[in-house]
Amino acid sequence: MNPPPHKIQVPEGSGLRAAITGTGSYLPERVMTNADFAKIVETTDEWIMTRTGIRERHLARVDETPSDMGIVAARRALEKAGISAEAVEMIIVATLSPDYAFPNTGCLVQAGIGAKNAFCFDLEAACSGFVYGLEMARRCVEAGGIRTALVLGAEKMSSIVDYTDRQTCVLFGDGAGAAIVQGVRDGRGVLGTVLGSDGTLADLLIQKAGGSRMPATEETVRQKMHMIRMSGREVFKHAVLNMSQAAKKALECSGCAMEEIACVVPHQANLRIIEAIAARLGVGLDRFYLNVERTGNMSSASIPVALDEAIACGRVKPGDKVLTVAFGSGFTWGATVIQF
Ligand SMILES: CC(C)(COP(=O)(O)OP(=O)(O)OC[C@H]1O[C@@H](n2cnc3c(N)ncnc32)[C@H](O)[C@@H]1OP(=O)(O)O)[C@@H](O)C(=O)NCCC(=O)NCCS
């Protein structure tokens, strides 16, 4: 019997699994601290730290774009995987802040790294984008159509943040993270994934203008409707509920107990959200890899950057099982268990 569509299990028997064989990340040089925010909006380091756990975040230069950041992260991931850019057959860039409405950011990354054998596209699932992208790559790799994929999360949140809105501006940062996904038969790979969406709640976290429903006009720009608007409390509640449920379902469909998970790499939106998820999963925060204090919420780039850091510092080692879990605008959510 087929599993329900939101529960995706690796087909048994083939032995072929989609594994992450290399990761890379990039954070822009410029750092904006909470003290810097206190100079431009009415806030304090104490308020931001207590409500979000964020102390600082990296912001891209004016001339630096998601594709620029993604290119650096992609090169680093290729190097770790020990493969050339020509080996990449598919590039998926998860982003809600693309360089252009079109062409897609994936094509720009392709040109930058010289992945001339790849087809490329962007995927928009907000902060869940990397988990969605990883699952799309898994399906292509395990179906046998693609041997090597590059999945990126790349965001310039600073280009759509209203720096006069103290409720949102302190939350976000810029950056990019990349993963090389390859078919292997050695036990590594994605063990199970759960994805979900609820479009009835689209208005709670939204960039209203700039699309075809509300094209940019002098009026939309004056009213800052091309910037992020969020109902913080509502988003918080739904994030905790959906992330903890997705994490539990991903464990279930991958046949893993929480005790087997060496490290949880969550979407890094807010420390309080992560604390609430840890409590619902019945584990301590020490099981989580956290970088939200240094990066803020980088939307789709949060998980791949955190994963790359966790591998680089030895928190995730070969043989470890890792749980990633994400939530974002849409609403969208997803969780996946990966064997390294
Ligand atoms: C945004 C968030 C930190 C706000 O925290 P909160 O406890 O819900 O705070 P509220 O929005 O209820 O605001 C409480 C007060 O703090 C004020 N406030 C908001 N931002 C502030 C800031 N940066 N500095 C100081 N005060 C601030 C509000 O104006 C409000 O003041 P009032 O009581 O005088 O009206 C919280 O709702 C949150 O984290 N939500 C989820 C956001 C998120 O992660 N989104 C992305 C998901 S992918």
d(CA 336, CA 194): 6
List all residues 6 or more positions away from 152 whose beta carbon is below 8 Å from its beta carbon.
70, 73, 74, 91, 92, 93, 94, 95, 106, 109, 130, 133, 176, 177, 178, 179, 304
Q: Residue whose CA is closest, atom 30 of ligand 1?
A: 167
* Residue 3 banded pLDDT, cuts 50, 70, 90: very low
Nearest ligand 1 atom to the CA of 235 is: 41
Nearest ligand 1 atom to the CA of 329 is: 48
What's the confidence (pLDDT) of residue 1?
42
Mean pLDDT computed over every residue of the chain:
95
**Ligand 1 pocket member 103 (CB < 6 A):** no
Is pLDDT of 10 > 80? no
pLDDT digits (tens, 9 = 90+) for 221-273: 999 999 999 999 999 999 999 999 999 999 999 999 999 999 999 999 999 99
Q: Residue whose CA is closest, atom 36 of ligand 1?
A: 232
Helices (H), the chain: 34-38, 45-52, 66-81, 105-113, 129-142, 166-169, 218-222, 232-254, 271-281, 292-295, 302-312
Annotated active-site residue 297? The verdict is yes
**Ligand 1 pocket member 163 (CB < 6 A):** no
pLDDT average, residue stretch 143-167 = 97
Is pLDDT of 8 > 80? no
pLDDT average, residue stretch 54-77 = 98
**Ligand 1 pocket member 166 (CB < 6 A):** yes
**Ligand 1 pocket member 226 (CB < 6 A):** no
d(CA 19, CA 179): 10
Pocket test for ligand 1, best of 51, 166, 233, 329 (most atoms within 8 A of CB): 51
100-135: b (≥16 Cβ within 10 Å) or e: eeeebbbbbbbebbebeebebebbbbbbbbbbbbbb
Domains in the chain (CATH in brackets) are 7-186 (3.40.47.10), 191-339 (3.40.47.10)
Q: Residue whose CA is closest, atom 25 of ligand 1?
A: 43
pLDDT digits (tens, 9 = 90+) for 90-134: 999 999 999 999 999 999 999 999 999 999 999 999 999 999 999
What's the confidence (pLDDT) of residue 14?
62
Is pLDDT of 13 > 90? no
Instruction: Name the active-site residue from 104, 107, 120, 127.
Output: 127
What's the confidence (pLDDT) of residue 15?
86
* Residue 182 banded pLDDT, cuts 50, 70, 90: very high
215 preceded by a cis bond (ω within 30 of 0): no
**Ligand 1 pocket member 53 (CB < 6 A):** no
pLDDT digits (tens, 9 = 90+) for 282-292: 999 999 999 99
List all residues 6 or more positions away from 92 whose beta carbon is below 8 Å from its beta carbon.
106, 120, 121, 122, 123, 133, 136, 137, 149, 150, 151, 152
What's the confidence (pLDDT) of residue 2?
45
Backbone phi, psi, residue 45, to 5°: -60, -40
